[in-house]
Structure 1
Amino acid sequence: MAVADLMVLIIEVILSELSSAYFPYSFLNLYHICKLRIFFNCISIDCSVWLTVTFTFDRFITICNQNLRAKYCTEKTAAVVITVTCILSIIQNVPVYIFLVPMYIIDNVAWYCWVSSDVYTTPKGAAFSLIETILTPVVPILLIMFLNALTIKHIIHSNRVRSGLRLDKNAESGTDQEVENRRKSIFLLLAISGNFVLLWMVTFVCFMTVNFLDVHLFGSDYNDPFTIAELSGYMLRALGACTNMFIYGVSQNKFREELKNVIKSPFVLFSNSIKCL
């Protein structure tokens, strides 16, 4: 998931937005390169979103279903889920590559690309646009909110049971570390749901708008209110890739340990090389 978020930042922010703003006529903006860039950008976004969903489901199983946890929460299952998610994301975005057409033709050279008008005028294109909006981000938003709600409900119920047992046993007064950890989990889950929904909301509204009003995505008129809203949504979506990686990754003890190992590895390798000499 961290890799997918990082790819979103590299492709969408660096190769797309920054290159178009500061190097408008670089090779990255040639039509065929532009198509590939947007195609892989859409794939990375879908992977990021759906891996966030699968991670949320994994957390739900870990906390709420101890019987299924031993079978589902394994490295083998994770590898299968990640592979299937990436393959489906590629398949889902094949029509995006097909619907992209040149924006300008200068000296017989095609520059930039945008969504063909067929997306808005033909039944197949309109159906694809609607399905794409439903798959990303409507369904992920609903799934993340639903799974986190169930997880929080389970944590609250477990805390009540634990508090009752402590009272029955006349436990000493003081802070229950397990309850504190569960309370932190609730705040984390609320932050995850709120962050994802809020940062995707503008893009979601824009995607829904093109299905019902006479407006187009990837517009070139930067004075148009819809284009401004669309670009603002993309900015917030890119910000979401940063915060998702931080919330899901840095908050995990094992992730922090692995990160420390990665940072230490060059020094360990250097130290071992010196010892060998």
Structure 2
Amino acid sequence: MLSLHISGCLHTSHDLIFFTANLMTVQILSQGKCGLSKGITHYMIAMATGDLMVLVFNVIVSQIVKYHFPGSLLNYTPACRLSAFLQGLSLQLSIWFTIAFTFDRFVAICCNKLKGRYCTERMANVVIFIVSSLNIMVNIPLSFRYEPTHVLNNVQWGCRTVTGYLTSPSWAAHRWLTNISNMFLPIPLLLLLNTLTAGHILAASRVRRALKSSRGDAVEMGRDPELKSRRTSIVLLFTISGCFVVLSAPITVIHICVGVTHITSFQVSNSLYVAIRAAFLLMCTSSCTNTCIYALTQRRFREVVKNLLKSPYVLLRKLQK
């Protein structure tokens, strides 16, 4: 099946805003002032870092630098190979950090016996390390997918796909591996985990309401901190993974269609090519949504953001006085 390894995403005038927002998110979460457990905080920092990598390597480097600065270091073959590796790695890290966070919340909500051992700061660090290591190993072959277009004064220039890429069994196996990890596995896995988590939360909430009603505590149900905590958890979980599913689904559908039709080349004016670029843009956009989600669902995160935004203004006022 054809691998749709597009070299980058369409860039917009909002790239700098998205970059700054993700960088600010990493800084805020690193301070640990959002009222979240250390394990959740580490997962969120990992997701924000993966999103930041997508913006840097798949948008800024791949599109802005490559096409608007033709004399950049990307013209050298080693730099081009490194860029290809980092683009693939950043996308997969962004995807699998989201899955790791979703699984952690699934265990915390649905698996009481496993919760105490798994949902810890140490386990979060171990999972993040394993996910990072596996994705690095999966994407290392991308560096060897390209060869220099020409050699001038013993210096390798440009990048082109190596001969036999489409016919080699080894490369075919690698394409299938990346297709599964990027396209076919994440969405069904997230949908399954969210369905199980939602079902468990709804069942537990019904039981808790029934118990309170039987004890005559119906008036206090609206102020039940346990139910409020569950609502906050499910909103945060579903918005993060739900946005990822919605924004990643189009490229997955197109990928399947291309694989079925066995199309191997595209014209820039072709409608399918435009659809692929637009769908990949949506996939990259998912790396820009988490900051907004945190701000909408986490009160303490909003407070830290407000204080951070006020800091330059307060400093200017003090300097004026």
TM-score (norm 1): 0.80
Residues 138 and 90 of structure 1: CA distance in aligned 2, closer, same or farther (over 3 Å): same
Q: Distance in 2 between matches of 1:81 and 1:133?
A: 22
SS at match of 1:215: coil
Aligned to 1:164: 210
Structure 2 equivalent of residue 58 of structure 1: 104
1:224 aligns with 2:252: no
2:284 maps to 1:238: yes
2:154 is the counterpart of 1:98? no
Letter in 1 for 2:290: N
Q: Which residue of 1 aligns with 2:240?
A: 192
| Aligned match for 1:139, one of 155, 163, 185 | 185
Q: Deviations over 1:122-159 (max 9, x none)?
A: 33322321221111132121111111111100110011
Say yes or no: does 1:46 pair with 2:55.
Answer: no
CA distance in 1, matches of 2:147, 2:132: 25
**What CA distance in whole angstroms lies between the structure 2 residues aligned with 1:191 and 1:237?**
15
Residue 71 of structure 1 deviates from its aligned partner by 1.1
User: Of 184, 195, 205, which residue of structure 2 is paired with 1:149?
Assistant: 195
CA distance in 1, matches of 2:103, 2:97: 10
Q: How many Å separate the matches in 2 of 1:75 and 1:12?
A: 30
Distance 1:205 1:87, change over 3 A: same
How many Å separate the matches in 2 of 1:146 and 1:213? 29
Q: 2:175 aligns with which of 129, 132, 148?
A: 129
| Paired residues of 1:130 and 1:208 also in contact (CA < 8 A) | no
Q: Which moved more, 1:41-50 or 1:176-185?
A: 176-185
Kindly state the Cα deviation for residue 115 of structure 1 after the two structures are TM-superposed: 4.2
Change in CA separation of 1:213 and 1:124 when aligned onto 2, cut-off 3 Å:
farther
Q: Decide whether aligned partners of structure 1 residues 101 and 40 sit closer, same or farther in structure 2, where only a CA change above 3 A counts.
A: same
Q: TM-score, normalised by structure 2?
A: 0.70
- 1:120 equivalent in structure 2: 166
Q: Is the 8 A contact 2:51 2:94 kept in 1?
A: yes
Mean CA deviation greater in 59-68 or 207-216: 207-216
Structure 1 residues 85-119: Cα deviation after superposition (integer angstroms, max 9, x where no partner): 111001001222222245x5597876553544633
Cα contact 1:133–1:204 (8 A) shared by 2: no
Q: Aligned to 2:70, what secondary structure does the other structure show?
A: coil
Identity of aligned residues (%): 37
Q: CA contact under 8 A between 1:100 and 1:114: conserved in structure 2?
A: yes
CA distance in 2 between counterparts of 1:73 and 1:223 reads 50
In the TM superposition, residue 211 of structure 1 has moved relative to its aligned partner by 3.8
Tell me the residue number matched to 2:41. none
Counterpart mapping for 1:197-276 below 5 A: 197-216=245-264, 221-247=267-293, 251-252=297-298
Residue 14 of structure 1 aligns with an amino acid whose one-letter code is I
2:227 alignment counterpart: 179
C-alpha distance in 2 between matches for 1:229 and 1:111: 31
CA gap 1:257/1:187 in 2 versus in 1, 3 angstroms: closer
Q: Which residue identity lines up with residue 62 of structure 1 in the other structure?
A: A
Offset, 1:192: 2.9
**1:201-248 alpha-carbon deviations (Å, 9 max, x no partner):** 23223443554444348x6x4223333233223311221111135436
User: Which sections of structure 2, spanning at least 5 residues, go unmatched?
Assistant: 1-46, 316-321
Aligned residue number for residue 20 of structure 2:
none
Give me the CA root mean square deviation: 3.3
- Is the Cα–Cα contact under 8 Å of residues 120 and 211 in structure 1 kept in the other structure? no
Residues in 1 aligned to 2:146 and 2:254: alpha-carbon distance in whole angstroms: 18
Aligned pair partner of 2:62 in 3, 13, 16:
16
Amino acid at match of 2:102: T
Q: In the TM superposition, what is the alpha-carbon distance from 1:166 to its structure 2 partner?
A: 1.4
Change (3 A) 1:255 1:195: same
Return the offset for 1:60: 1.0
Match in the other structure for 1:274: none
Q: Could you say if the C-alpha distance between residues 206 and 38 of structure 1 is closer, same or farther in structure 2, counting changes exceeding 3 Å?
A: farther
Structure 1 residues 62, 255: closer, same or farther in 2, change over 3 A?
farther
Match of 2:7 in 1: none
The answer for unaligned runs of 5 or more in structure 1 is 271-277
Q: 1:51 to 1:205 in 2, by over 3 A?
A: same
Q: How many residues were matched structurally?
A: 265
Change (3 A) 1:141 1:20: same
User: What does residue 37 of structure 2 align with?
Assistant: none
Give 1:188 shift: 3.6
